[in-house]
Amino acid sequence: MKRNKKERQQLLKEKIKDNPFITDEELAEFFQVSIQTIRLDRLELSIPELRERIKHVAEKTLEKEVRSLPIEEVIGEVIDLELDKSAISIFDVKKEHVFVRNNITRGHHLFAQANSLAVAVINDELALTAKANIRFTSPVKLGQRVVAKAIVQNVDREKGRTTVEVKSTVGNDVVFYGSFEMFRSTNM
């Protein structure tokens, strides 16, 4: 459905507020307009491009430090972190992450993003994966952006275990799901 400029720009602001990681290409497809139209709308509304939005969110997030591993060991870029609660990372699929013959991402990259995020969300000096139940639900292709969201579901203080669920998406499509039982070195 075509919208007039004013309606489109209002909805554009809402879409970016709801998902600051949405690309201009995804917005253009949603609004059924050209990418250039989206860029012009963003300029008029003073909404920065995706890279700047991500950088801004990441700078605010990393004021809180990951304790369980060095931040550079997390696969993907951590852009939101609330220790022992939730975390978000993004992973841009590049040529070195895919099978040459079909440009589909190798599964261990998606697992590594989710697993390292499950470790990073733990507020402890040491966090290790004790058990993982994972599902790959859709292939991820070269050039796509994977957004992983980790949510702490349960903390068992007696056993020193924490359950973290991670859901990875490309756009609105779930591509990976994992439930990770994490061992932590200290009881809370």
Q: State pLDDT tens for residues 93-144.
A: 999 999 999 999 999 999 999 999 999 898 888 889 999 999 999 999 999 9
* Cα distance between residue 102 and residue 172, in whole Å: 22
Q: Which domains does the chain have, with CATH numbers?
A: 5-47 (1.10.10.10), 61-184 (3.10.129.10)
| Higher per-residue pLDDT: 66 or 47 | 47
What pLDDT does residue 44 have? 87
Is the four-CA dihedral 74, 79, 83, 84 of positive or negative sign?
Answer: negative
Helix, strand or coil, per DSSP, at residue 114: helix
**Res 171 pLDDT > 50:** yes
**Res 172 pLDDT > 80:** yes
**Bridge pairing between strands 127-136 and 145-156:** unpaired
pLDDT, tens digit (0-9, with 9 covering 90-100), for 48-59: 777 676 666 655
Q: Residue 162: left (phi > 0), alpha (psi -120 to 50), or beta?
A: beta
**Entry pTM:** 0.68
pLDDT, tens digit (0-9, with 9 covering 90-100), for 35-51: 899 889 988 888 877 76
C-alpha separations of 103 from 28, 95, 139, 145, 186 in Å = 24, 8, 10, 14, 42
Helix, strand or coil, per DSSP, at residue 104: strand
